[in-house]
């Protein structure tokens, strides 16, 4: 029992050290001279990651404008939906993510002058000669990406042409759905699909470009007007200087970069993306360890409350368990990262939001593990301890709990593995853990099969190692 206590104390100290070292404290309002800009992670050629940096038309335009207007900014790549929600909850100052300027969005956001005129096209498999127009889509499925012009266009014409839509969160998944023939076609913004075809996504464009809405830089309604004015002034200047045209030509011109064959296949993905995968794996492990230490403390505390003689304490513990076991983890993550900061008007680091959501969720399951472990100890143990004159609290800590912990260990190990895998859900709020790292790689390479295989192997290796270490710890504790 002493060894177990020392082990938990050591982990707790390490956890605090990691947390402080990574600087995951609440943002101070006074330090907001550097603008925080949200963006998508998988919308090439406007924004995507290459060699560990966010690049693309949007990124280069923002960089040029910031230089022209002399302001500093920090990019927060988190996916389109998460970026828009982060802007609504004031977690970021602005969003640039190929965001179409629509009347609906104008009610919530203030937009810059348009910086790109887009339009929708239809893509099909490059060897598909059956689907040539919208009329060929009757009774079939069409893939679209949420929040895009392609999605809006599909909603507008689906009844006219008699097709069903299948919605995805990023372009790579949408293209994969077509490549696996679950959908016969996809609708996407012309520059995005054209770039994907050029990079070897396996599709071809079969329709003319439909007129669509323009892209704009967005800030919250009535807020960050100085930033908006700087963006507009800088955009005018880079148009006048010709820098804007150079940026667009770089990604969409005839000399734009073609598919990189060195990033194809299992070994190609591994070699080109190894640093990003390791960074994602490290964040996954760190997030799981920190969350589980906190969850263990929560589990012990509320576990004791669950078996106490006080109806009030039992009621509090029961309500906590029911809430966090009765709601999806992704809903909890959205609530802590978007909901609470929006309601209380403060910014929360995404790592902290992930830790809170995972800790409270895993803690609810830990409570039941602790309760079950304590109640599995023979009642005679407590009675014997009390007959020797030990107070209830001391008898619980010195007699019942050590025996209960030995019974809980397998369940604790199982919860550790579950929480490690649950970290992948945090990609929905913009945490670039291992799963999100994979999505970013796929947005650049369009190699989903090999990317997911590599990520699956990495999860398997880490979980296997942790399981073996935990098994060894379990044997040592049982032998104490």
CATH topology of domain 32-115+216-252: D-Maltodextrin-Binding Protein; domain 2 (3.40.190)
Angle, CA 219 vertex, CA 214 and CA 221 arms, to 5°: 105
CA distance 139 to 463: 44
Four-CA torsion 95, 291, 360, 376, nearest 10 degrees? 160
- Region 165-170 average pLDDT: 88
137-159 tens-digit pLDDT: 999 999 998 878 899 899 999 99
Predicted confidence band of residue 377 (pLDDT cuts 50, 70, 90): confident
Phi, psi (rounded to 5 degrees) for 39: -150, 170
200-213 tens-digit pLDDT: 888 999 999 998 78
Could you tell me the residue ranges of all domains in the chain?
32-115+216-252, 117-214, 266-479
- Region 3-7 average pLDDT: 48
Name the pTM for this structure.
Answer: 0.78
Query: DSSP states of 234-271 as a string?
Result: HHHHHHHHTHHHHHHHHHHSTTS----GGG-HHHHHHH
Predicted confidence band of residue 132 (pLDDT cuts 50, 70, 90): very high
117-214 has CATH 3.20.20.100 classification: no
pLDDT of the residue at 308: 85
Are 32-115+216-252 and 117-214 the same fold in CATH? yes
**Over 70: is that where the pLDDT of 84 sits?**
yes
- Region 431-435 average pLDDT: 89
- Hey, is 394 helix, strand or coil? helix
266-479 has CATH 1.10.3720.10 classification: yes
Predicted confidence band of residue 262 (pLDDT cuts 50, 70, 90): low
**Over 70: is that where the pLDDT of 23 sits?**
no
pLDDT of the residue at 410: 79
How many percent of the chain have pLDDT more than 70?
Answer: 90
Predicted confidence band of residue 256 (pLDDT cuts 50, 70, 90): low
pLDDT of the residue at 116: 94
Contact, 248 vs 64, CB < 8 A? no
pLDDT of the residue at 25: 41
Q: What is the largest CA-CA distance in the chain?
A: 90
């Amino acid at each position: 029992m002493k060894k177990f206590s020392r082990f938990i104390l050591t982990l707790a100290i390490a956890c605090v050290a990691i947390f402080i070292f990574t600087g995951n404290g609440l943002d101070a309002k006074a330090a907001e001279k550097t603008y925080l800009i949200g963006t998508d992670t998988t919308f090439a050629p406007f924004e995507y990651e290459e060699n560990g940096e966010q690049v693309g038309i949007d990124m280069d335009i923002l960089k040029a404008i910031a230089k022209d207007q002399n302001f500093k900014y920090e990019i927060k790549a988190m996916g389109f939906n998460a970026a828009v929600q982060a802007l609504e909850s004031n977690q970021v100052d602005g969003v640039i993510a190929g965001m179409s300027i629509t009347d609906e969005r104008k009610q919530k956001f203030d937009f810059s002058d348009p910086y790109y005129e887009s339009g929708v096209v239809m893509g099909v498999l490059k060897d598909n000669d059956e689907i040539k127009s919208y009329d060929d889509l009757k009774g079939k499925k069409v893939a679209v990406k949420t929040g895009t012009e392609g999605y809006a266009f599909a909603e507008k014409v689906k009844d006219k042409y008699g097709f069903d839509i299948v919605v995805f969160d990023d372009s790579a998944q949408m293209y994969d759905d077509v490549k696996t023939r679950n959908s016969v076609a996809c609708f996407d913004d012309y520059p995005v699909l054209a770039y994907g075809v050029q990079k070897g996504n396996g599709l071809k464009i079969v329709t003319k470009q439909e007129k669509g809405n323009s892209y704009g830089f967005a800030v919250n309604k009535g807020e960050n007007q100085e930033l908006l004015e700087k963006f507009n002034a800088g955009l005018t200047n880079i148009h006048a200087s010709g820098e804007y045209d150079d940026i667009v030509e770089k990604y969409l011109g005839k000399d734009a970069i073609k598919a990189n064959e060195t990033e194809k296949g299992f070994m190609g993905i591994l070699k080109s993306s190894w640093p990003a995968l390791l960074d994602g794996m490290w964040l996954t492990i760190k997030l799981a360890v920190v969350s589980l230490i906190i969850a263990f403390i929560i589990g012990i505390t509320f576990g004791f409350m669950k078996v106490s003689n006080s109806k009030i304490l039992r009621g509090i513990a029961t309500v906590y368990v029911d809430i966090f076991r009765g709601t999806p983890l992704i809903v909890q993550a959205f609530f802590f990262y978007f909901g609470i900061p929006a309601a209380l008007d403060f910014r929360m680091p995404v790592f902290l939001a992930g830790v809170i959501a995972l800790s409270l969720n895993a803690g609810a399951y830990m409570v039941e593990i602790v309760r079950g472990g304590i109640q599995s100890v023979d009642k005679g143990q407590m009675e014997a301890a009390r007959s020797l004159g030990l107070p209830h609290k001391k008898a619980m800590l010195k007699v019942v709990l050590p025996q209960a912990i030995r019974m809980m260990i397998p369940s604790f190990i199982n919860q550790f593995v579950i929480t490690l895998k649950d970290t992948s859900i945090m990609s929905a709020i913009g945490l670039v853990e291992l799963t999100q790292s994979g999505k970013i790689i796929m947005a650049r390479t369009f190699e989903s099969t090999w990317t997911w295989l590599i990520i699956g192997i990495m999860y398997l290796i880490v979980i296997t190692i942790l399981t073996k270490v935990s098994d060894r710890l379990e044997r040592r504790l049982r032998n104490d």
